[in-house]
A and B are shown apart, each in its own frame.
Chain A
């Protein structure tokens, strides 16, 4: 068990070091989400009245699509260098390797959220509360687990850019329903956000357990 955690952390550290040295993904994702906000502004004709009702939707759309790019990249680099096969040849368990990749992808997406959430507040004038940050972080964990599992899968498949959104977006819906509710409440909507946060925790547990059970069959191929 300790060994598994050590391997997962080593793989995560490797991915984060490589991102730190190249500085490719996070700046690109940050630029991507700011562009998404600019497009939403012109698409919706944002003003002070409608911003609170539109901002949650824009937040989740930008986050989900940035996530798809991040999760896809997590395995694209390994595929280009054929380094995943090398890692799988070591005695390390596939689940530990997968967990490491998922942890790194989660942290990279959090790096992108560090830009997205303040930018949303800046451009849309919506509040930035602890509740919003919590909801977004909780959703990120579950979405990263599912997203990385399917990214690992499509990395070995033709037309991978097409297939990743088709497979993962339906599985993101529970997170978006609960997370969307929590953010709407925090931005002035009606309803209870405690329940939404509780649901997000439940979904995180469910999908993290499921992906760790399934990771062996996807990576060990």
Chain B
């Protein structure tokens, strides 16, 4: 087992522990019944997705500043992993909404902005695929990543101002009993570890896919960073 396989195994083991906590330790919700157990992973994966897209934002901004390949690879990895977690959030949310709200979908602020988030980062991956690989794809994708990250709170705000029915911050308001809170925090920690491991593995794949850095690119990077003088 190499270190990536070990990390992956550890992340899966943690997620199984989280599942045990969700189904065995956490009490059943008095009002909603067992379906409320969706909450733990639903909110955790939403937070993990935001974290991944923050990686895309920061990676893209650093790439635009100094052309760092490392930052760009992290952005690529973050976009893909974030898209997976957004998908999980949306699908679990719909399964939860059906029995509680009586419908799979409603156009409220949080649902709309999460869907927009999904669409934007799906577009991000499309840009990466369609643009000329290398500098062009990295620059264009960085711009998409930055616009996407700013657009989501704007969409959220504009729809909130219009109409909303998604429950607000029940965690901050201290409305959760201690067992539920403990289960939630544990699940969130496990999910964040899983996301970090997935990004690390994806980063490794992107590095291998990029291949060895050609000597000319190294020289160009050194010149643009001011470490070497161009030969006249």
User: Size range of the interface on A?
Assistant: 20 to 34
Identify which of residues 108-126 in chain B touch chain A, using a CB-to-CB cut-off of 8 Å. 112, 116, 119-120, 122-123, 126
The answer to whether B162 touches A177 (Cβ under 8 A) is yes
The answer to whether A167 touches B127 (Cβ under 8 A) is yes
The answer to whether B139 touches A217 (Cβ under 8 A) is yes
Residue among A157, A169, A170, A177 making CB contact with B127, cutoff 8 Å: A157
Q: Does B55 contact A (CB under 8 A)?
A: no
Interface size counted on chain B using CB atoms at 8 A: 30
Interface of A is mostly: helix
Interface of B is mostly: helix
Q: Does B135 contact A (CB under 8 A)?
A: yes
Q: Does A130 contact B (CB under 8 A)?
A: no
The answer to whether A167 touches B123 (Cβ under 8 A) is yes
The answer to whether A173 touches B127 (Cβ under 8 A) is no
Q: Does B150 contact A (CB under 8 A)?
A: yes
Minimum CB–CB distance from A212 to chain B (whole Å) comes to: 12
Residues in A whose Cβ lies below 8 Å from that of B154: 174, 203, 206
Stretch at the interface among A37-45, A73-81, A158-166: A158-166
The complex places the Cα of A156 from the Cα of B140 at a distance, in Å, of 10
Residues in A whose Cβ lies below 8 Å from that of B127: 153, 157, 163, 167
Residue among A163, A166, A214 making CB contact with B119, cutoff 8 Å: A166
Residues in A whose Cβ lies below 8 Å from that of B159: 177
Listed in ascending order, the chain A residues whose CB lies under 8 Å from chain B are 146, 149, 153, 156-159, 163, 166-167, 169-171, 173-174, 177-178, 181, 195, 199, 203, 206, 210, 214, 217-218, 221
What are the nearest 7 A-B pairs in CB distance? A177-B158, A166-B123, A174-B158, A174-B154, A158-B130, A157-B131, A157-B130
